[in-house]
Amino acid sequence: MVTWNLSHILVQPLDKVKRDLFFNVEKIESFKPLKASLSPSAFQSLVLRLEKTYGSMSRLAAFSQLQLSINTADPIYNAFAKQIEQLSAEIANRLLFVDVWWKRLPKKQALRLLSSLKKDRYYWESLRRFAPHTLSEPEEKIITIKDVTGANSLANLYDVITNKFSFPIRIDGKSKTVTQEELLTLVRSPVSQVRKMAYTALLTRYQEHRAELSELYRSLVLDWNNEGRLRQYSSPLSIRNLRNDIPDDAVDALLSACQKNAGLFKQYFKKKMKICGITRPSRFDVYAPFTASSTKYSFNQAKELVLDTFADFSPRMHAHAQMLFEQQHVHSDIVRGKRSGAFCYSATPDLVPYVLLNFTGTAYDVSTLAHETGHAVHSLLAQHHSVFTFHAPLPLAETASIFSEMLLTHKLLKGADARTKRSLLLRELDHIYASVGRQAFFVLFERKAHDLISNGATSDDLDAAWMEGLREQFAHAVSISPLFKNEWLYIPHIFHTPFYCYAYAFGNLLVLALYRLYQQEGERAVSKIEKILSYGGSKKPGEILEEVGIDISSLEFWQSGFDVIKELIDEL
């Protein structure tokens, strides 16, 4: 049994945590009314109180969400999570006056107070980015309250519905019922009929709930767009870009490069199908493995392999990775009702992150463990920052995780025979497609879907837009069954975090550039990469990357990532 120990999150009784929380909130409220003439020392005191308050709220939220992730249908866990969400909204509203005052403060006075901060300067500078999009204090309070029972509840309802799904299948003449995680391991089966059966079971179940899931999506999109219009954003995507502190033109360049290079992945899939001996390739075969390997890993074997990978690269990162397992902050067991997929939850700088997996023992699961451990290491490298700035901005949030996966793959490539190398390269390129091409097309679909829904689109219109994207990715390489028309319904990111997924493409192409740097410079590159990660979210993503000569608004930079992908295809 590999389960986690949540006792490190709340080291004091819940009642005391809440009392201390409200004590700090009252101390902050004592600063009212805030004036432009506030002294630097008073501002520092205010910032310190805010750090303590948000740190406490982050721990409460972590405790409630991690409990809930193990059993999303548990009524007690759901009620507690809703209670904490309501508490968070109440406190956010009580402290909203600080945000509104800060965003409206004259520039000269803001610079005077910023100069007094030893840390967190970027966080406070970033808040002022949102000044043109901030409403009045009463309006902001209404939106905060509305989100608890509005968009947040709709996203949670998506989880409640989909995490209860079970899937009847028949393998080796035996019928059984499996979870979504267990089912998704079968899309990588060496047997074509098993792959087809797995996708059919998955997409049929989502098709059965198409009416309610598509209605949830329409409501979430309209909420996102209506609020965006109230705040006078130029587009639905620009809302995410501003939150990420990434210029619109940088994201446009990234998505343009991904769309332009769709043919590269088509070329790859044609080669892959030939290598794998698949004579009539279809979308069911995209993740077909090269070898019918039955290799299974125990969790301990996977853990040691991942830790050895970190040890080979950086003693510092290895030490951080070890803490995750020493403190029992990993939950890998498969339990009915458990949240699907995998994640790393970083609550506060002084708390070792928590990792959730649904571990079935495949090589893919070992890569997932490396990925999520990379997230944890990233947070721990930035633990010298405050609760405001230790989280990496979304575009850089996948850097350490994907880099860890790449280190693992190249560790396995060393000394492998030609057949094993071919298998590893196929797996690596499958992963790159899934994390670059596929994720970028999620965002391209979202961009289209948000526009369609704002103009009264039906579910059929959304299905058609999704199929158009699939044809752009796969036409003439693999055939696409009409069954895939509602595949978009099972992409949780587009329900929970609109336009999130370009971060994966950003992170993967960035990692290809950083790995090339590591190949060229060796030990010198290790310190550069650690430095990038140690910034957390204390600086603009573009400025952090400028330190290693990367211009994120350059189409040529993104194209250089695809040039490395082409080299991998040529090597294959």
How is the chain split into domains, by residue range?
A: 6-149
Q: CA 402 to CA 374: how far, in whole Å?
A: 7
**Per-residue pLDDT, 292:** 53
Query: What confidence score (pLDDT) does residue 293 get?
Result: 57
Among 403, 431, 401, 426, CA closest to 416: 426
> If you search the block for the tokens 């006078």, which residue do you land on?
232
Rounded Cα–Cα distance for residues 449 and 468 (Å): 12
Section 312-324 average pLDDT? 97
Interatomic CA distance for residues 389 and 121, integer angstroms: 9
Looking at residue 250, its pLDDT comes to: 92
pLDDT digits (tens, 9 = 90+) for 125-134: 999 988 889 8
Whether the predicted pLDDT of 149 surpasses 90: no
Is it the case that residue 421 has pLDDT exceeding 90?
no
Helix (H, G, I), strand (E, B) or coil at 349: coil
560-570 pLDDT per residue, tens: 889 989 999 99
pLDDT at 210: 96
Asked if the model's pLDDT at residue 548 lies above 90, the reply is: no
Measure Cα distances from 40 to 35, 54, 105, 114, 433 in Å.
12, 21, 14, 8, 50
Strands of 307-352, DSSP E: 330-331, 343-345
Mean pLDDT, range 17-34, rounded to an integer: 95
Q: Hey, what amino acid is at 322?
A: Q
Quick one: pLDDT at residue 516? 83
pLDDT at 449 (0 to 100): 98
Task: Find the mean pLDDT for residues 388-416.
Answer: 89
Query: Is a pLDDT exceeding 70 seen at residue 51?
Result: yes
Which positions ≥6 away from 115 have C-beta within 8 Å?
Answer: 40
Q: Which stretch of 22-31, 59-68, 332-341 has the lowest confidence by average pLDDT?
A: 332-341
Alpha-carbon Rg of the chain, whole angstroms? 24
How many whole angstroms separate alpha carbon 190 and alpha carbon 212? Answer: 34
**DSSP labels for 37-96?**
T--HHHHHHHHHHHHHHHHHHHHHHHHHHHHHHH-TT-HHHHHHHHHHHHHHHHHHHHTH
Which range among 33-37, 102-106, 286-290, 468-472 has the greatest average pLDDT? Answer: 468-472
pLDDT confidence bin for 550, thresholds 50/70/90? confident
Task: Count the Cβ atoms, other than its own, within 10 Å of residue 207.
Answer: 15
Mean of pLDDT values over 157-172 = 91
Determine which of 196-210, 284-298, 363-377, 493-507 has the lowest per-residue pLDDT on average: 284-298
pLDDT at 255 > cutoff 80:
yes
**pLDDT the model gives residue 395:** 84
Judge contact between 300 and 325, C-beta under 8 A: no
Please give the Cα distance from 562 to 20 (Å, whole number).
51
Q: Once rounded to an integer, what is the mean pLDDT over residues 43-50?
A: 96
- Phi-psi bin for 386: left (phi > 0), alpha (psi -120 to 50), beta? beta
**Res. 477: pLDDT tops 60:** yes
What's the mean pLDDT in 169-188? 89
CA distance 99 to 124: 9
Rounded to an integer, what distance in angstroms lies between the CA atom of residue 537 and that of residue 127? 13
Judged by average pLDDT, the poorest of 183-197, 402-416, 437-451 is 402-416
Looking at residue 419, what is its pLDDT? 84
Does position 1 have pLDDT exceeding 80, yes or no?
no
Surface-to-core class of residue 542, CB atoms within 10 Å of its CB (0-12 exposed, 13-18 middle, 19+ buried): middle
pTM of the model: 0.79
| Beta-strand runs (E) in 275-386 | 330-331, 343-345, 354-356
Helix axes 248-260, 236-244, angle to 10 degrees: 110
pLDDT, tens only, 276-301: 999 999 999 999 988 755 678 999 99
Four-way CATH pick for 6-149: 3.30.413.10, 1.10.3720.10, 3.20.20.140, 1.20.140.70: 1.20.140.70
